[in-house]
């Protein structure tokens, strides 16, 4: 910077001050022609430094946010932590009157996060089970076999799916998906797979883990498929050509040339989808049934970590209740941080540091 | 196989949109845009206060999220390029992007609502603003990286101070892309419900005061969808249609700008 500036200033200063003169007069005082010129344009050294500090501050605020979330949640959940300790996450108790196993009883002050951990895991796992094969199929179609004119609109549609707010997914699920599953899909499941014990017909509402899993699958599909597409198009063309040259069919080419090379990135995309599914709130809250229980049947009502917070936080009255809900939030925060970091590392490993974009 | 799965993916989208338009359009009316909700049990009413509330919340969140996000993006692209710190910021931004919105709501509740002892529009705006920062930051960085080096050098060669060169040359060149990123972040938080449940809380009366509880479109949709009344369900569908139209407009605009943006040739 300074060099550019001074070379510009030199010609003007030369008539009055020959280059040797400042030195002869002994000092930094008489470099002033250049200096005066610079000062007349405002002291950009200070402004420049200030600006870069300001920008650095903005960048550091991202760390600040993470630290802020962590400390606030820890502070607020301290009461629950000191009351229950680690057993908060796996204890259960028996109700003295009804002899039933209970987990969550705000009125009597018994709190255990176990049913919510279970609900989150089961619904997310169901969602992945449904979404992953579909997402990989879509990515294969888009990168390997789709005619050029369809590629743009289809990518746009997947983008749109990612942009729909979760409350609208929830609204649609409550009034369209749940009745559909209740009338047509659940009876079939009960008839075919009822013997496994995973599908019982004791819940006439249609709400429950299966409904939550299906709507979650629809919601995480775009994320998984767009990331899978990204890592698959990062596989070099020479790989495909080499496999084809060996006499492979198209499917063999995709399997051996593309999927095998992209598998780490695909796993990253799946984990990223898992991260979304774990934290998804509104749609799940609306269809999971919000009952803190652990049942073998996937058609029974349940509750997830995010759904119980959304459902009870605004109405929670006791400090312990609030604190317990915050502790669930803290657990959710830590888990999603770990899951997302893992996914980013995996995706970066494949696309070699190229920015991984979602949506 | 692949074609089948693509059809299976497109089907829910078509179904959602068809239902939204079918149900939403039939319950949209003039009153929807001009009236506030009627007391429980009465028919009619609208969501005017929720639309205004959403606008207030988004205004507050943009005022927080966009400057900080753009600043962070400028740091990543202009000052911290290749440094370890920049890599860490980038990584943290990506991870923060995946943190569930309800956790943001919890944190802001404990930061502001818990201390003030009342729900407020301001706290809702803060929660949404924090959610905008990582998205805006990352897209700004990507867009700035596309600006060719020659442009920066030309500005500096004219003796423009670095900060001016960044703000009025580099950022200006990349501005269509940066605006795109802001719109994307905007569209994302416009539909957020979870962080608002216990920050903005909702309000069935008119309110534009940032210090009071305020209603928001997605919040109202949620409350109406889980209510037992058919009339309110209709309003929820209408609200959802309005919300989705706004978001689709934003996303299409973004795609339009991105596809024929000035940056295409520059990179």
Tell me the C-alpha distance between A51 and A44, whole Å: 10
3-state secondary structure of A62: helix
Strands (E) in chain B, as ranges, are: none
ipTM of the complex: 0.89
Question: Is A234 within 8 Å of A351 (Cβ atoms)?
Answer: yes
User: By C-alpha distance, which of A112, A291, A135 is closest to A217?
Assistant: A135
* 8 Å CB contact of A138 and B69: no
Give A164→chain B minimum CA distance, Å: 7
pLDDT tens readout for residues B9-68 = 788 888 888 989 998 888 888 888 888 887 776 777 788 899 999 999 999 999 999 999
pLDDT of residue A177: 92
Which strand (E) or helix (H) includes residue A93? strand A93-94
- For the question of whether the overall pTM of this predicted structure is more than 0.95, the answer is no
Which strand (E) or helix (H) includes residue A220? helix A209-233
pLDDT of residue A11: 43
In degrees rounded to 5, what are phi and psi of residue A358? -115, 140
Mean pLDDT comparison of A32-46, B81-95, B248-262, highest-scoring range? B81-95
Report if residue B13 sits inside a domain: no
Report if residue B5 sits inside a domain: no
Report if residue B233 sits inside a domain: yes
Tell me the C-alpha distance between A347 and A229, whole Å: 12
Residue B1 reports pLDDT greater than 70? no
Report if residue B101 sits inside a domain: yes
Domain that residue B204 falls in: 47-266
pLDDT tens readout for residues B218-233 = 999 999 998 888 888 8
Q: What value does the mean pLDDT take over residues B185-208?
A: 88
Report if residue B40 sits inside a domain: no
Put simply, whether B258 touches A (Cβ < 8 Å) is no
| Domains of chain A, first to last | 1-42 (no CATH), 68-351 (1.10.3720.10)
Nearest chain B residue (CA) to A151: B6
Put simply, whether B75 touches A (Cβ < 8 Å) is yes
CA distances, B95 to each of A68, A69, A163, B62, B222 (Å): 15, 13, 19, 21, 27
Report if residue B35 sits inside a domain: no
Report if residue B172 sits inside a domain: yes
User: By C-alpha distance, which of B214, B129, B127 is closest to A72?
Assistant: B127
Put simply, whether B93 touches A (Cβ < 8 Å) is yes
User: What residues in chain A have per-residue pLDDT under 50?
Assistant: 1-27, 353-359
* 8 Å CB contact of B72 and A158: no
Alpha carbon B185 to its chain centroid, in Å, reads 4
Question: If 0-12 CB within 10 Å is exposed, 13-18 middle and 19+ buried, where does residue B15 land?
Answer: middle
CA angle B246, B248, B250 (to 5 degrees): 70
pLDDT of residue A2: 42
Mean pLDDT (chain B) is 87
Task: Look at chain B and report how many structural domains it folds into.
Answer: 1
* 8 Å CB contact of B222 and A137: no
| Residues in chain B closer than 8 A to A4 (CB atoms) | 156-157, 159
Tell me the C-alpha distance between A310 and B218, whole Å: 14
Q: What is the band of B193 on the pLDDT scale with cuts at 50, 70, 90?
A: very high
CATH number, position B127: 1.10.3720.10
* 8 Å CB contact of A170 and B107: no
Write the residue in A4, A69, A281 that is nearest to B107 by C-beta.
Answer: A69
pLDDT of residue A12: 42
Mutate: best of A43, A46, A58, partner B, most B CBs <10 A: A58
Report if residue B60 sits inside a domain: yes
């Amino acid at each position: 910077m300074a060099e550019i500036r001074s070379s510009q200033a030199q010609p003007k200063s030369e008539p009055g001050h020959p280059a040797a003169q400042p030195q002869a007069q002994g000092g930094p005082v008489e470099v002033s022609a250049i200096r005066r010129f610079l000062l007349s344009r405002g002291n950009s050294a200070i402004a420049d430094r200030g600006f870069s500090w300001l920008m650095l501050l903005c960048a550091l605020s991202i760390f600040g946010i993470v630290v802020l979330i962590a400390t606030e949640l820890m502070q607020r959940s301290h009461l629950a932590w000191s009351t229950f300790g680690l057993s908060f996450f796996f204890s259960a108790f028996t109700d003295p009157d009804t002899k039933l196993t209970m987990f969550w009883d705000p009125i009597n002050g018994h709190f255990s996060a176990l049913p919510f951990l279970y609900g989150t895991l089961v619904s997310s796992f169901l969602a992945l089970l449904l979404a992953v094969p579909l997402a990989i199929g879509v990515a294969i179609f888009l990168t390997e076999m789709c005619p050029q004119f369809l590629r743009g609109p289809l990518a746009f549609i997947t983008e749109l799916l990612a942009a729909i707010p979760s409350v609208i997914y929830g609204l649609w699920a409550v009034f369209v998906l749940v009745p559909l599953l209740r009338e047509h899909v659940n009876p079939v499941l009960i008839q075919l797979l009822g013997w496994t014990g995973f599908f019982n017909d004791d819940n006439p509402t249609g709400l429950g883990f299966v409904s939550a899993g299906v709507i979650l699958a629809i919601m995480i599909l775009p994320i998984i498929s767009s990331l899978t597409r990204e890592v698959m198009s990062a596989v070099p063309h020479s790989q495909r050509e080499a496999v084809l040259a060996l006499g492979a069919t198209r499917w063999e080419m995709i399997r051996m040339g593309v999927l095998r090379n992209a598998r780490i990135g695909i796993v990253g995309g799946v984990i990223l989808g898992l991260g979304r599914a774990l934290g998804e709130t509104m749609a799940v809250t609306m269809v999971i049934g919000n009952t803190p229980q652990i049942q073998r049947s996937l058609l029974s009502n349940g509750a997830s970590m995010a759904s119980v917070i959304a459902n009870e936080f605004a109405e929670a009255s006791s400090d312990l209740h609030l604190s317990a809900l915050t502790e669930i939030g803290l657990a959710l925060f830590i888990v999603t941080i770990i899951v997302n970091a893992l996914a980013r590392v995996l995706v970066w490993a494949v696309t070699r540091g190229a920015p991984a974009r979602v949506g | 196989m692949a074609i089948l799965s693509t059809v299976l993916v497109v089907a829910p989208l078509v179904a959602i949109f068809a239902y939204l338009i079918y149900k939403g359009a039939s319950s949209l009316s003039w009153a929807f845009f001009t009236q506030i909700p009627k007391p429980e049990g009465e028919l009619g009413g609208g969501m005017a206060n929720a639309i205004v509330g959403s606008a207030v919340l988004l205004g507050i969140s943009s005022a927080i999220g966009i400057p900080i996000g753009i600043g962070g993006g400028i740091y990543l692209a202009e000052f911290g390029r290749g440094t370890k710190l920049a890599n860490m910021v980038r990584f943290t931004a990506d991870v923060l992007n995946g943190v569930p919105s309800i956790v943001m709501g919890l944190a802001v509740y404990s930061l502001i609502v818990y201390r003030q002892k009342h729900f407020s529009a301001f706290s809702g705006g803060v929660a949404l603003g924090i959610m905008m920062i990582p998205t805006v930051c990352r897209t700004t960085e990507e867009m700035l990286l596309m600006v060719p080096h020659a442009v920066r050098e030309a500005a500096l060669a004219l003796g423009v101070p670095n900060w001016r060169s960044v703000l009025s040359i580099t950022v200006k060149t990349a501005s269509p892309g940066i605006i795109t990123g802001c719109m994307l972040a905007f569209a994302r938080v416009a539909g957020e419900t979870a962080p608002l449940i216990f920050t903005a809380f909702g309000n069935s009366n008119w309110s534009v005061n940032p210090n009071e509880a305020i209603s928001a479109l997605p919040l109202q949709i949620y409350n109406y969808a889980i209510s037992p009344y058919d009339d309110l369900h209709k309003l929820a569908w209408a609200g959802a249609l309005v919300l989705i139209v706004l978001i689709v407009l934003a996303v299409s605009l973004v795609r339009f700008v991105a596809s024929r943006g000035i940056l295409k040739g520059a990179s």
